[in-house]
Chain A
Amino acid sequence: MTNTSLLKSRSVWLLIGAILTVTLPLWAGDQYRLHLAALIAVYWVLIAGLNLVVGYTGMLSIGHVGLLSIGAYAFSILAGKLGMDPYAAMVIAGLICGLCGLALGLPSLRLPGFYFAMATIAFSMIVNEIILAQVDLTGGGIGLPGPMFPVPFESPTGFYYLAVIVAAVVTYLTWNIARRMWGRGLIAIRDNPVTAQAVGVPMFQAKLIVFVFSGITAGVAGALFASLQTYITPDTFVFELSMFFFVCIIIGGRGSIIGPFIGTVVLTWLPESVASLAKLGNFFYGLLLLIVVLAVPEGIGRMIKMIYERFRPRKVESFAIRPDRSKLKDALTQFRPSHSSAETEQSRSLHAASVSKSFGGIKAVDDVSLVLKPGQVHGLIGPNGSGKTTMLNLLSGYYQADAGSINLQGQDLLAQTVQERAKTGIARTFQKPRLLPDLTVLENVMVGSWLHAKSGFVTTALGMPSVAVEEKAFREQAIELLKGVGLEAVMHRRANLLDHAQQRFLEIARGLALRPRFILLDEPAGGLTAVEIENLGEVIRGISDAGIGVLLVEHHTDFVFRVCDYVTALNVGRMIQSGSPEQVRHDPEVIRVYLGA
């Protein structure tokens, strides 16, 4: 199929690239070009790490030249002044920069976008100040010589190979992170933080880990850089260099490794070969950045892919979603957490008691109690302002209740964050589907399994076999879930190409990938046709067949009465009736509230 031929051609290109890289000293020509190639490799060591921060996690870090300089100076001081073994010095320089990344990240990563960017710029200016001031250590304005590596890496050709080896290792590490669950988690933080929270990604920790990693690679790059340049001064590390790293990634395209790599190659080589561009210097980078942001904000990598896709049009057959209730039930029961027979239905139910929540002076939810039982479809209805969505947000952790209690299996949920509640087994969907537009349908569902991924950052980066095993299990589960909701046919399509109904069903499948005990659906029927609503009903009944409890918050009262086992009606934050659908539908108070004055 088209997928495998694409893969084949990608491997071929990689092979060609590898051969060219390895044989470069033979065909490059002169020492100057070899030096340039080594410089590209060194820059790439830093940019590959920074790519995870900027391209994958979406953090606008513009101060990495500060980390580069710390690495360069640390290496020069350790290996030069103190005579340490250069390899050890390089490693220690990396670790020191990792620590600096930690020191920078801890206070800054919680800040909103612009503030964070400013903090990183300020960081690089502070590093510059300190380097200039600590004359005894750093030589101040005069600088330090950059030590050489021992044989066989001390010659220009030898050093080139050292740089290539380190670059290859770093590329391998980042590639592993990018293509596995970690990469998806980072992309979720970038594209839809609410989704990341909902599937249980610990946002601050993840950002910090990635940022520290980028610090380590910057430190290693700094060591290599110092050795390559043979002499470093504070003037070498100007803000413009930070801009350059940043622009390579943005131009190359986010969510890609090859894109920023090509960006690095082109942007390093271009000013060297086109003299007028070199004179313009930073103006050129700024112009390029502006053009990319205005015309192709997702980067030239994506633009190339789009052009590529235009020449190989895929038949976009419209198809009807056809869920399979029994398949869905099977998929869910296969992966559900098993419960011991000692647990009663009571203990496995979610109990919300006398929950209240006010905004300003207005009580949005006033003393509401409800019980979600496993395998039961519980509808929550009410006119505008009745508090039903607020209730859903309270149950899932997006709002903090002012009073009352929410318990599941003896755990007090009120003390739990959104991610912790996801871990306890509460999944949810949103009024407007929150998907990751750049990932495929299948990958979007796999993100839902985040909490079940046991592989940490380091294990994933190293490419340990356990990661591939886990990945395979998640993929299989996701496929089964997609078959169950009826989206199997589009599983390799990019999520932003789906129509509205398909996006809704995808979000439900993602929620189910969490292997939840309860799934809370926030107005899922919105914008669906009558046929699609029927299918939604099938999916909901399939979920409940598998023993998962469903909370259905809806305006579409007709649909609620048809598909639910139990219904609670709210008005102005208070509960006015709860019982079987027939009971609630004919309750005089409910009728009055919906139709009356």
Chain B
Amino acid sequence: MSSTPKNRTEKVLLSVENLHVAYGKAEVVHGINMDVRAGEFVVVLGRNGAGKSTTMHAISGLVPKREGRVTFEGKDLSQATPREIVQAGIIQVLEGHRVFHALTVEDNILIGTYAKHPSGDRSKLDEIYALFPEMAEKRHQLASRLSGGQQQILAVAQGVIGDPRLLILDEPSAGLAPMVVDRILNVASDLCAKGMAILLVEQLVEKALHHGHYAYLMETGRIAAAASAKEISQGDLLHRVFLGGGEPVEQEGVIR
């Protein structure tokens, strides 16, 4: 198991152990270990093809695991359905602002409550609109009319209304203007300050490390390094992992 650095003392919320995920015959995640503590903002970095999204999908039960355990607040969610995982408190915002174009903004947000309230729970709407005022203006518009950035914000609102204790954001920046990205990451930081744990997968390394507490660096399906955000942004490991120049570190550990 991992040796935890000194400053991670909060209790473990999410624990991923020895996760292996395969698409057909190709194993793309080779036994990773990862955890998220209560109130922590964890960032997962890595090149494309490193297996970051796949790991997130596996945590949410959207793709089958070949091997490994996922535990959340003490409960073993390894065999749980996506619905059960959402009900347990892990909500994921998928990459690519995947909202439902045929529905209105308000209906899109309400779908986020479906897992816990099968006929939709309107009580939280005001809170969400307060958090995302640009959504309040457009509440009766079809999601197809929104810009890419607005759709991404809608997707986040859709996730947040489900009242998660862990919110997974998969590359929210993809294809968006910097201002929108900042908006989303700021909202995430605010939610984190109020107690929601955040697991952020990102390619925009600098921005991500600015908001994050702790970071995992993934490389070809393995964890190349794990350390506090500050330490990762100060070392040269990033350069090596993204642009090569040596053998990647293949075990989890603290970088010096």
Contact = CB atoms under 8 A, between A and B. Distances in A.
A503 B25 CA distance: 9
Interface stretch (B85-93, B128-136, B241-249): B241-249
Given A595-B239, A596-B205, A383 B48 contact: yes
Interface in A496-537: 498-500, 503, 523, 526-527
B48 A596 contact: no
B26 A526 contact: yes
A585 B175 contact: no
Interface in B165-206: 171, 174-175, 178, 203-206
Nearest to B204: A597
Nearest to B248: A558
A597 B49 contact: no
A383 B220 contact: no
A555 B25 contact: no
Given A432-B24, A557-B242, A594-B243, A385 B175 contact: yes
Contacts of B26: 432, 500, 526-527
B175 A362 contact: yes
A597 B205 contact: yes
Contacts of B175: 362, 385
A523 B203 CA distance: 19
B49 A594 contact: no
A179 interface: no
Interface in A125-184: none
Nearest to A499: B25
Contacts of B24: 432, 500
B205 A595 contact: yes
A557 B25 contact: no
Interface in B223-256: 238-239, 242-245, 248
B243 A555 contact: no
Contacts of A28: none
B244 A555 contact: no
A597 B207 contact: yes
Given A555-B49, A557-B47, A432 B23 contact: yes
Given A432-B24, A500-B26, A595-B238, A585 B243 contact: yes
A595 B234 CA distance: 12
B27 interface: yes
A58 B23 CA distance: 26
A591 B25 contact: no
A384 interface: yes
Given A500-B26, A590-B243, 4 more contacts: A362-B175, A384-B48, A527-B26, A556-B49
Interface of A: 362, 383-385, 432, 498-500, 503, 523, 526-527, 555-559, 561-562, 585, 590-591, 594-597
